């Protein structure tokens, strides 16, 4: 593994630790802020715009309102993704299934 990968890993672990030590409502706000910054910097904006155009369900005015909020939500999702815990931060009646999968070293997808 290259040295830069170790540095990236170390930074990600530091961010993950910070997220887990900070109350969730604060990290969600920070995630939304990060998403807004990425939107303003133009990160992937052409791809997002092209995808919206391809679907063709929204007017240009609607897309100008939706896309910044999309970036904010993605930032929030990123912070929740890095948050550790016994269970996900959302509700399900099937925790026994997630616990069983984790006991066998398997990942889980919840919808």
User: Which tens digits make up the pLDDT trace of 72-88?
Assistant: 999 999 999 898 865 55
Under 8 Å between Cβ of 34 and 78 = yes
Given this model, what pLDDT does residue 88 score?
Answer: 54
- Average pLDDT of span 35-63: 94
Domain ranges of the chain: 3-86
- Give the predicted TM-score (pTM) of the model: 0.68
Residue 106 has phi, psi (to 5 degrees) of -100, 150
- How many H-runs (helices) and E-runs (strands) does the chain carry? 5, 0
């Amino acid at each position: 593994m290259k040295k830069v990968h170790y540095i990236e890993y170390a930074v990600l672990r530091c961010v993950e630790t910070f997220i887990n030590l900070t109350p969730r409502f604060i990290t969600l706000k920070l995630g939304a802020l990060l998403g807004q910054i990425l939107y303003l910097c133009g990160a992937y904006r052409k791809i997002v715009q092209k995808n919206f155009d391809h679907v063709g369900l929204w007017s240009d005015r609607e897309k100008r309102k939706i896309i910044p909020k999309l970036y904010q939500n993605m930032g929030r999702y990123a912070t929740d993704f890095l948050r550790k815990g016994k269970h996900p931060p959302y509700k399900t009646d099937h925790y026994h299934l997630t616990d069983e999968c984790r006991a066998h070293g398997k990942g889980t997808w919840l919808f």
